[in-house]
C-alpha cells in the first residue's frame, strides 16, 4: 500500500505538471471565462509576486500578467470582475482545524470571552446559557441536551472552571455540557454526569481526570481530556444524521467566511466522516474538505489524494497529549503554577502511552498514510520525534509528509530534529494573542512562554510551516492568525518572544502555499499561477501595506472557489 501511495502521488504530480504546461501553452488561444483586475493581486509566487490581472477558464487560472495582456484573453462572453482597489490572494488553506466541531461551535451557546464573546465571568456564562436554551427550545428538545462552547477559565473573573452546582442553577431538567475553549476540558451538570455514569465511585479513565470536590471523591463537574469525552460522546450519540450533516455545513461555511477554500477536519470520528460523506455526495460542499480520522477510534481508513465531490480522507490523526492553557499538555519540566490540587512537580500527562505512539506512527508509515500528530508539550513532542525516527529507519523509502500539530512548547533541539526528519510543523502562533499573558504568568513562566510556537527558529533554518486557527478553539479568523504570526502581541499588549515575529509575506505563505504543500496539493493550490485552481480570497486592504498593528482589522470581502463566489460580506 505504501508503494501504491507513492506511485499515486508521483502520478498526480506528473498530471498536474502537464496540465499546467498545456494550459500555459494554449492560454492565448483559449478565451477567459472571468478576468479579475482593478486591484492588487498578491500571487504568493516568488517569481511573479504582484500582478495586475488574472484570467480564469474552466475553474483554473489561465494567465497571470499585466492588465493589458490578460484582457487580450477576453471575448464577448468573458465576465470582468473589478476588484475596486481591493487585494486578492490565493484562497487560504487550513493547516489545522476541525470543520465538524466548528459547526458544533456555531450551533451552541457562545461562551467565548471578549473579543469574540461575552463570557467574562460565571454569572455571564449562566446568563448566556439560559438565554440560548430559551431561544433554541426546539433544538434542545430535539437533541435532549443543553450545550455551550468556548468558556476560558484564564479569562473568567473567578479564574476557575464553573462547577456542576453552578450549571445545575441554570437547568436540572436537561443534561448540560459546556466545553472549554481548548476543547480539552469541560464542565457538566449533575444530570449529564449521571447519564455518563460518572459518580464518586468512578475512577479516572486512562488519559483523563475527573476533578473532585475538595475533601472527597464526589465529581465537581469539571472533566479533563478522556473524562470529558465520556460525556461528550454520550451527547453526540443522540445526534441524528440531519444534525450531523448540519454541523458539516455550518462549519465549512463559517471557515469560508474567513477566506478558507480548503478546510480540514483534523480529528474525525466515524459519525463525522459519515456526515461529511453524505453532504459531499449531495453536492453541498462549497469548499474542499479533507478529513483525518482519529486512528485509534476509526477502524477503516482509506486515504486518497483526490477529491470526490470536494471531500477526501487525507490520512490519520494521533493525539498524544492535551492543552497547555488547560494545563493538561505533557511537559518535560513542571508547570509554572500547577492546577489546584496538583503537586509542584506536576507536568501534565499523556493521553496515550509511548508504546501506542510508537505503534501508531509505525502503522502509518507501513500503510503509506500521512499522519497528523497533536503534541503540545515538549515531552509529547519527544515521543512523536522518536516514533518518526524509528519509522523512517524501518521504512526509508516511504515519504508520508508527517505533520506536528501545535508543537507549542518546542525546544530548540527539537526544531533541529523536525528539520532532519522532514516533519512539517503546523504551529499555533495565535496562542500568543489569546493565551500569551496566561502562559507567561501561570502556565509556563516568562522564559518558556516567550518561545511558544517558535516560528523564528523555523525561519532561521529556512523551514516551511503552517499557521493555524484550530477552530473551534478559536474562531477560524484568518486575519487574527496573520496578525498573531506577525506581531505576537498578547491581549495585554505584551510582545511574547519578539525574536519569533515573522514578516507579513512569510505569514501569508503559512496560510497558503506551505499548508498546500502540507496537504500534497502544492501543484494545484496555494499560489496564483497558471494551471492552478481559481481559489481566491478578496481582502479589504493589502496586508503588505497596512501597519502591522492593523492586520487584524482587515476584512474578508469575498471567498471564491474555482471561480465561483461562495462567500460575500
Contact 345, 339 (CB under 8 A): no
For 21-47, the pLDDT digits (tens) are: 444 444 446 899 999 999 999 999 999
pLDDT at 318 over 50: yes
Q: What percent of the chain has pLDDT over 90?
A: 88
Fold of 118-236: Diaminopimelate Epimerase; Chain A, domain 1 (3.10.310)
Fold of 245-568: TIM Barrel (3.20.20)
For 197-218, the pLDDT digits (tens) are: 999 999 999 999 999 998 899 9
The most confident of 23-32, 235-244, 379-388, by mean pLDDT? 379-388
Q: What is the pLDDT of residue 239?
A: 87
Q: Count of H helices and E strands in the chain?
A: 20, 23
Q: What percent of the chain has pLDDT over 70?
A: 95
Q: What is the pLDDT of residue 7?
A: 37
Average pLDDT over residues 413-437: 97
Q: What is the pLDDT of residue 325?
A: 92
Q: What is the pLDDT of residue 22?
A: 47
Q: What is the pLDDT of residue 21?
A: 45
Pairing of strands 146-151, 109-110: parallel
Domain spans of the chain, in order of start = 118-236, 245-568
Q: What is the pLDDT of residue 9?
A: 46
Average pLDDT over residues 38-65: 98
Average pLDDT over residues 508-537: 98
Q: What is the pLDDT of residue 182?
A: 86
pLDDT at 20 over 50: no
pLDDT at 271 over 50: yes
Average pLDDT over residues 348-375: 97
Where does residue 146 rank: exposed (0-12), middle (13-18), buried (19+ CB within 10 A)?
Answer: buried
The Cα–Cα gap between 356 and 398 comes to 21
The Cα–Cα gap between 260 and 283 comes to 18
For 98-152, the pLDDT digits (tens) are: 999 898 888 899 999 998 899 999 999 999 999 999 999 998 998 899 999 999 9
pLDDT at 11 over 80: no
Name the DSSP letter for residue 514: H
Model confidence band, residue 391 (pLDDT cutoffs 50, 70, 90): very high
Q: What is the pLDDT of residue 29?
A: 67
424, 374, 365, 375: which is closest to 398 by C-alpha?
Answer: 365
Amino acid at each position: 500500500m505504501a508503494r501504491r501511495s507513492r506511485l499515486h502521488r508521483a502520478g498526480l504530480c506528473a498530471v498536474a505538471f502537464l496540465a499546467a504546461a498545456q494550459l500555459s501553452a494554449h492560454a492565448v488561444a483559449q478565451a477567459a471565462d472571468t478576468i479579475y483586475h482593478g486591484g492588487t493581486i498578491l500571487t504568493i509566487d516568488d517569481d511573479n509576486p504582484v500582478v495586475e490581472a488574472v484570467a480564469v477558464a474552466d475553474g483554473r487560472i489561465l494567465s497571470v500578467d499585466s492588465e493589458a495582456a490578460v484582457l487580450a484573453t477576453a471575448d464577448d462572453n468573458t465576465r470582468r470582475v473589478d476588484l475596486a482597489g481591493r487585494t486578492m490572494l490565493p484562497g487560504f488553506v487550513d493547516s489545522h482545524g476541525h470543520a465538524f466541531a466548528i459547526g458544533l461551535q456555531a450551533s451552541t451557546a457562545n461562551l467565548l470571552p471578549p473579543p469574540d464573546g461575552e463570557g467574562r465571568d460565571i454569572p455571564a456564562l449562566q446568563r448566556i446559557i439560559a438565554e440560548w436554551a430559551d431561544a433554541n427550545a426546539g433544538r434542545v428538545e430535539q437533541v435532549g441536551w443543553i450545550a455551550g462552547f468556548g468558556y476560558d477559565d484564564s479569562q473568567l473573573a473567578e479564574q476557575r472552571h464553573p462547577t456542576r452546582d453552578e450549571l445545575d442553577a441554570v437547568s436540572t431538567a436537561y443534561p448540560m455540557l459546556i466545553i472549554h475553549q481548548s476543547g480539552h476540558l469541560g464542565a457538566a451538570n449533575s444530570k449529564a454526569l449521571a447519564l455518563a455514569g460518572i459518580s464518586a465511585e468512578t475512577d479516572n479513565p486512562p488519559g483523563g481526570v475527573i476533578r473532585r470536590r475538595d475533601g472527597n471523591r464526589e465529581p465537581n463537574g469539571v472533566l479533563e481530556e478522556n473524562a470529558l469525552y465520556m460525556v461528550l460522546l454520550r451527547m453526540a450519540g443522540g445526534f441524528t444524521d440531519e444534525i450531523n450533516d448540519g454541523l458539516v455545513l455550518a462549519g465549512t461555511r463559517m471557515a469560508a467566511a474567513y477566506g478558507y477554500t480548503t478546510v480540514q477536519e483534523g480529528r474525525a470520528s466515524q459519525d463525522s466522516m459519515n456526515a461529511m460523506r453524505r453532504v459531499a455526495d449531495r453536492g453541498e460542499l462549497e469548499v474542499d474538505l479533507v478529513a483525518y480520522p482519529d486512528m485509534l477510534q476509526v477502524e477503516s481508513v482509506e486515504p486518497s489524494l483526490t477529491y470526490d465531490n470536494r471531500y477526501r480522507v487525507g490520512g490519520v490523526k494521533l493525539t498524544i497529549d492535551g492543552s497547555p492553557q488547560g494545563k493538561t499538555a505533557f511537559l518535560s519540566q513542571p508547570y509554572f503554577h500547577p492546577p489546584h490540587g496538583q503537586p509542584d512537580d506536576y507536568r501534565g500527562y499523556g493521553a496515550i502511552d509511548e508504546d501506542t505512539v510508537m505503534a501508531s506512527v509505525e502503522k502509518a508509515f507501513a500503510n503509506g498514510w500521512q499522519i497528523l500528530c497533536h503534541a503540545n508539550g515538549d515531552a509529547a513532542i519527544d515521543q512523536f520525534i522518536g516514533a518518526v525516527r524509528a519509522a523512517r529507519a524501518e521504512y526509508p523509502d516511504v515519504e508520508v509528509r508527517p505533520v506536528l500539530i501545535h508543537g507549542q512548547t518546542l525546544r530548540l533541539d527539537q526544531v533541529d530534529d523536525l528539520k532532519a526528519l522532514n516533519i512539517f510543523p503546523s504551529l499555533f502562533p495565535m496562542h500568543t494573542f489569546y493565551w500569551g499573558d496566561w502562559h507567561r504568568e501561570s502556565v509556563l513562566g516568562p522564559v518558556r512562554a516567550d518561545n511558544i510556537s517558535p516560528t523564528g527558529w523555523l525561519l532561521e533554518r529556512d523551514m516551511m510551516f503552517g499557521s493555524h486557527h484550530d477552530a473551534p478553539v478559536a474562531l477560524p479568523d484568518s486575519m487574527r492568525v496573520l496578525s498573531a504570526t506577525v506581531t505576537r502581541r498578547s491581549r495585554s499588549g505584551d510582545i511574547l518572544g519578539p525574536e519569533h515575529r515573522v514578516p507579513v509575506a512569510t505569514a501569508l505563505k503559512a496560510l497558503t502555499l506551505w499548508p498546500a504543500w502540507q496537504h500534497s496539493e502544492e501543484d494545484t493550490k496555494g499560489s496564483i499561477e497558471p494551471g492552478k485552481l481559481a481559489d481566491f480570497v478578496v481582502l479589504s486592504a493589502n496586508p503588505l501595506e497596512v501597519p502591522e498593528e492593523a492586520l487584524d482589522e482587515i476584512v474578508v470581502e469575498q471567498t471564491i472557489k474555482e471561480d465561483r463566489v461562495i462567500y460575500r460580506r
